[in-house]
Chain A
Amino acid sequence: MALTQIINTGIGQVTDIKIGGSGSANTLDDYEEGTWTPVDASAGSLSFTSVNATYVKIGKTVFIAGTLTYPSTADTNQARIGGLPFTSETTSPAISYTIPMTVATSTSAGVAIGIGSNKTSGYLRTLDNSVPTNANASGNTFLFSGSYNTA
């Protein structure tokens, strides 16, 4: 693998790195890390606690990780987490990204976030493809990490 080109636009800033070739497909043109805030995107108007989430974006792919705790609730809206740091990619037909989640405070397992195209949120899903309600997530702490492509 050869590092073939670096174009500087200022001290401490490189905007265009080409690795292994000179084409646009060889260009690493974006890297960024930061934080984001998961929020309830259902119609339940819930407030998560113990929220902590980060992202690392490399090229068009963003890696997210974090934790959040659902409040105690009997709300029956489908559980949906929003606040993603970037809009998911535009694709047709839609691609769904699945972000695995670990449930820290329940014996339940196999929960994920399903993210469609052009979205900033995703529904919770179980491995048997059912969609939990907020009541199903009530009081649970979720830990998650995964990636999706950005618009």
Chain B
Amino acid sequence: MALTEETIEDKIEIVGDYKHVQVRTATVIKRDGTEISRSFSRHVVAPDADTSGESAEVQAICAAVHTDEIKAAYAAHLAEQENL
């Protein structure tokens, strides 16, 4: 019997006015190649976030959707929502 564990980004979504990139990371446990467990963790990449620690796929998506226009609009939104 062989147990294996792998981590995959199994869902990447672009949501909201400012194109936040929501990333779901799944930890998958398999016994002899058959999945027996899947658990999730999540994080969100905002337009002003440092993407250097993200996967190449997430970096590419962020580069495509987080345009200068979106970044500027998001910065203005944050300024409007000071302390929130």
Contact of A35 among B20, B41, B84 (CB under 8 A): B41
In angstroms, Cα B15 to Cα A118, docked, is 9
Q: A86-B22, A90-B17, A151-B15 are in contact. Are A131 and B83 (CB under 8 A)?
A: yes
B81 touches A116 (CB 8 A): yes
A94 at the interface (CB under 8 A from B): yes
CB distance from A105 to the nearest CB of B (A): 24
B33 at the interface (CB under 8 A from A): no
A96 at the interface (CB under 8 A from B): yes
Question: What interface size band does chain A fall in?
Answer: 20 to 34
B39 at the interface (CB under 8 A from A): yes
A18 at the interface (CB under 8 A from B): no
A96 touches B84 (CB 8 A): yes
In angstroms, Cα B81 to Cα A86, docked, is 18
A34 touches B81 (CB 8 A): no
Q: Which residues of A contact B65 (CB under 8 A)?
A: none
A37 touches B84 (CB 8 A): no
Contact of B43 among A37, A78, A116, A118 (CB under 8 A): A37
CB distance from A136 to the nearest CB of B (A): 14
